[in-house]
Amino acid sequence: MGRLALPPSADFGDLSHAVEVLYGRRLRFKEIGGAALHATTGIVFDAPTFTGIMVAAEDSEYYSLLSRVHELGHLIIRSAPDDWFSPELPRPKQPQQQSRLFLRLCPRNSTESTDADTVQEEVLVEELARALMRRLRAFESSAEEDHFA
Amino acid sequence: MIHTICLIAFVLVVVLRARSSWRKPAWWATAFGAVSIATYGIFWATPAVMDSLLRSRNILTLVRDSSAVAAMWFFHNAVATQRHRPERKLPLWALALAVVAFAVPFLLIRHPGPTSADFVLDRLQSFPTWLFSSVYISIMGVLAASVLALLRFEKSIMTRLYMLGISLMLVGSGMEVAYLFVAHFVPGTTGFAHDFYNVAEGPFFGGIFIGVLGVAWVLGVRNFWKYLARWTLRIDARAHDTGYQAQILLKARVNGWSDRQLAMDSAVNIRDRLKVGAQTLSKADDLVFTGVERMLSAQLQEASR
């Protein structure tokens, strides 16, 4: 996570920009209403000119933010240089770009997928997403509380 | 009256924060603040009683002012640390120099005893008394202005309380400097000196009280999140085995998570399960959980301001 070189008190814009640079494609975010995503918390897909991330419009803001960060996590795993991984923490096997699995539709914290690589990636990405959330300004430790409480 | 209110606020904050925060400059600021305000009297220990322990030479006034400057010095450094501006922290020698700057004129005051509530007023015609009082209040004003400069871009409730309190202190300091100047240098102002001796007390102590409320506010917010985090974890733990709560609390402690971060983590787990129908909440729990989620979402709006 430290290799993303986020500024102190980073916001979602900073994180999104860092992933854009890493992934090398323009990112676009969209909220979908009407529960079209059902239990799926978010979708990431590559369009010809940009990479899109869709999340459910009905979700609370904090939850929706985590869904976006989670999808950014998939892009980080896909595009991070090899030296960001280690034998203890290898990069989950990535599906072929034309494969249906490239569009990941597995809900967070779910083990419903029978594809071990997908499950492993979901677990890893969720852990990364939550760590990134704690790093964002909104949820980082409050300096006020550190010093005055 | 205002002294007593300030003293109660200070003592509460000092005692409640003692165990967890005694190493922090902000705690020392409140501790010195409490010492300074306590010199106005605590129950039977009137200023005369306390000053008699110091040979009844109004040394208590010097103790009061030195403690007040120390409190502002620590508060200034606490704000500089919180604002990530370590270069603005004041060195310890600056505190020593500040105290010496008004202690020396104080020690030059002839016949400083006996103990009097009107110690400065009674001797305002003497130059050392004027110098002592003016240097002290000016130092307080400069420290207050510096704290205001550090806080000017912050918009949290705590900061607003600090800014309001410190601004009032600054106004009080300005009024006191002006009063001392007129009373000492302008002839024929004896009546004015008596009538306006306590004129700066209202804004000055009102400001101190509001500043202490700022610390109390943060303390309240912190305890509120602590309670919410434990509640959310309890609801989250219903879907796990008995050791889950202790395991997560240990993980949070080891990784240095704040209570807000812990609440967010548990809330996400709960919402994940609610989404797929793997957990249900009673009406009461659902109401509280909705409140928790709203507060977590409000964090985002606060951070984007």
Residue among A60, A112, A147 with most chain B CBs within 10 A, to mutate: A147
* Amino acid at site B17: R
pLDDT of residue A100: 54
User: Of B213, B73, B206, which is closest to residue B140 (Cα–Cα)?
Assistant: B73
pLDDT at B34 over 90: yes
Residue A14 in domain: yes
Mean pLDDT within B279-296? 95
Note whether B163 and B278 are same-domain residues.
Answer: no
* A107 within some domain: no
Band (pLDDT 50/70/90 cuts) for residue B94 is very high
What integer pLDDT is reported at residue B66 of this predicted model? 97
CB contact under 8 A, A144 and B156: yes
Bridge partner list, A45:
A52
Q: Closest approach of chain A CAs to the CA of B229, in angstroms?
A: 13
B219-256 pLDDT, tens per residue? Answer: 888 889 999 999 999 999 999 999 999 999 999 999 98
Domain check: are B177 and B248 in the same one? no
Which residues of A fall within a CB distance of 8 Å from B81? 147
Q: CB distance from A127 to chain B under 8 Å?
A: no
Flag whether residue B92 sits within 8 Å of chain A, measured between CB atoms: no
Give yes or no: residues B175 and B136 share one domain.
Answer: yes
Please check whether residues B162 and B19 belong to one and the same domain. yes
Residues of chain B with pLDDT > 90: what percent? 59
- CATH of residue A8's domain is 1.10.10
B158 confidence band (pLDDT: 50, 70, 90): confident
Instruction: Tell me how many domains chain B contains.
Output: 2
Are B302 and A110 in contact (CB < 8 Å)? Answer: no
CB contact under 8 A, A147 and B84: no
Residue B58 lies in a domain: yes
Q: pTM of the entire structure?
A: 0.75
Whether the per-residue pLDDT at A102 is higher than 80: the answer is: no
Residue B220, in any domain of the structure: no
Residue B169 has pLDDT above 80, yes or no: yes
Cβ neighbours of residue B55 closer than 8 Å, sequence gap 6 or more: B113
Single residue among B174, B193, B210 that ends a domain in this structure: B210
- Does one domain contain both B205 and B243? no
Residue-level pLDDT at B113: 75
Give me the long-range contacts of B146-154 (CB less than 8 A, separation at least 24). B146/B76, B146/B88, B147/B72, B147/B75, B147/B76, B147/B79, B150/B76, B150/B79, B150/B80, B150/B83, B150/B85, B150/B88, B151/B79, B151/B83, B154/B83
Share of residues in chain A with pLDDT > 90 (%)? 34
Q: What integer pLDDT is reported at residue B7 of this predicted model?
A: 87
Number of domains chain A contains: 1
Would you call A134 and B261 a contact, using CB atoms and an 8 Å cutoff?
A: yes
What is the average pLDDT across B271-293? 93
Q: Is residue A101 part of a domain?
A: no
Q: Mean pLDDT, to the nearest integer, of B99-107?
A: 96
Nearest CA in chain A to B29: A148
Query: Is B246 found in the same domain as B117?
Result: no
pLDDT band for B191, please (50, 70, 90 cuts): confident
pLDDT confidence of residue A97? 61
**Are B79 and B139 in the same domain?**
yes
- Determine the average pLDDT of the residues in B186-211: 87
More confident residue, B9 or B303: B9
CB contact residues (below 8 A), chain B span 172-231, against chain A: 214-215, 218-219, 221-222
Q: Provide the ipTM.
A: 0.86
B188 shares its domain with B284? no
What is the pLDDT, as a whole number, of residue B99? 96
Domain span holding position B35 = 2-210
Predicted confidence (pLDDT) per residue in B133-153, tens digit: 999 999 999 999 999 999 887
Is residue B226 assigned to a domain? no
**Domain range for residue A75?**
2-93+114-148
Q: Is B302 a member of any domain?
A: no
Tell me whether residues B258 and A63 touch, CB distance under 8 A.
no
User: Looking at the domain assignment, is residue A54 inside a domain?
Assistant: yes
